[in-house]
Amino acid sequence: MSTVIEGRTGTAVIGRVGTSGRRIAGLAQNTLWIGVGMLAVLVLASLIGPAFLPKPDSQDLFPTLTGPSAAHPFGTDDLGRDVLSRTLSATWVDLGIGLVTTYVSLTIGIVVGSLAGYLGGWVQRIIMRLSDVVIAFPFIVLVIAIVAIIGPGAKGVIVGLIVGGWAFYARFSRAEMLSLREKPFIMAAQTLGYSRRRIILRHALPNVIRPGVVYSFSDVVLNILYIAALTYLGLGVQPPTPEWGAIIASGRNFLLTAWWITTLPGLVIVFVGLAFAFIGDGLADRLRVQREAR
């Protein structure tokens, strides 16, 4: 993570020398673009890959459990299915669920949290006690409980991650809103005779959303990990739909003889995790540099 360290030491210099400030801003942008690039590579591969690879569900029982080769770069599993093909087509499932759960949670959390912070009173009490209840549970236990109620499958995972996820966004949106509410520009908006709705939606929310968006990138990674973990436990996406956790789970019996079934999809998860972490880090740096420039 040399970029981050350089970024840190560099920020001290920003105030003094304009050119080095620009260089640091450039570096921060680079982390952002490295992340975006990594993500683009994966998405492109999963778009183009299927044209050259066997179908993810097509079985070829003659050469099962073959190691990585030119024909099967990630090897084959116990049913002779191409692991790379399955991993790539799982990208849509994992990224899709990860993004949906994160951004639905973010939207719900920011809206109710901001309302709680701005309105105060009983609205705040109800919303914050609800979020206390959610946060009081260990996250994975709560999600498993909800999946148990709804039933295993993508739907259960999505609902579970959203029910568990909104509370964090609500917490810090409320905190942001509380400090924002005291800002003169919010009072200035009041003195200009704007309605409460306009002040919340037009002036307060855009200022709350920014930190939420930065945080959400690490949340996408976490949610992808939870999806994989739940599927690994048999609670998530059901076979034969390819999903990273499912692929890894299917390889656990052959860990010593066919390491590629678990290891290579695992590395893809790490790759995606890094990509989102870079994006989040780059965004945070850019926003911080902007704030300091003010």
Partner 1 sequence: MTAASTEPVPAPPTDADAALLSVERLGVSFPATSGETHVVKDVTLSISRGETLGLVGESGSGKSMTLRALLGLVPSPGRVVEGEARWSGTTDLLALGERSRRNMRGKEIAMIFQDPLESLDPVFSIGYQIAEVLKAHGGLSRSQARARSIELLDRVGIPAPDERLRAYAHQLSGGMRQRVVIALAIACAPTLLLADEPTTALDVTIQAQILNLLADLRDESGMAMVIVSHDLAVVAQTCDRIAVMYAGRVVETGTTAQVLEAPRHPYTAALLASQPGPAAAGTRLETIPGQPPQMTDLPPGCAFAPRCAFARPDCARVSMVLDRSSREHATACPMVEAHEVARYRRSM
Residues contributing to the site for partner 1 (CB under 8 A): 120, 182-185, 187-195, 198, 202-203, 206-207, 293-294
Q: CB of 206: closest distance to partner 1 in angstroms?
A: 5
Distance in angstroms (rounded) separating the CA atoms of residues 294 and 211:
17
Virtual torsion, Cα 56, 217, 152, 142, nearest 10 deg: 160
Of the pair 1, 187, the CB lying nearest partner 1 is at 187
Cα-trace Rg, the chain: 23
Of the pair 73, 120, the CB lying nearest partner 1 is at 120
Task: Write the CA distances from 72 to 18, 44, 91, 230, integer angstroms.
Answer: 52, 18, 18, 27
Of the pair 124, 131, the CB lying nearest partner 1 is at 124
Of the pair 120, 266, the CB lying nearest partner 1 is at 120
Q: CB of 137: closest distance to partner 1 in angstroms?
A: 33
Q: CB of 88: closest distance to partner 1 in angstroms?
A: 39
Q: CB of 116: closest distance to partner 1 in angstroms?
A: 15
Q: CB of 11: closest distance to partner 1 in angstroms?
A: 18
Q: CB of 184: closest distance to partner 1 in angstroms?
A: 4
Of the pair 133, 188, the CB lying nearest partner 1 is at 188
Virtual torsion, Cα 232, 233, 234, 239, nearest 10 deg: 10
Of the pair 103, 194, the CB lying nearest partner 1 is at 194
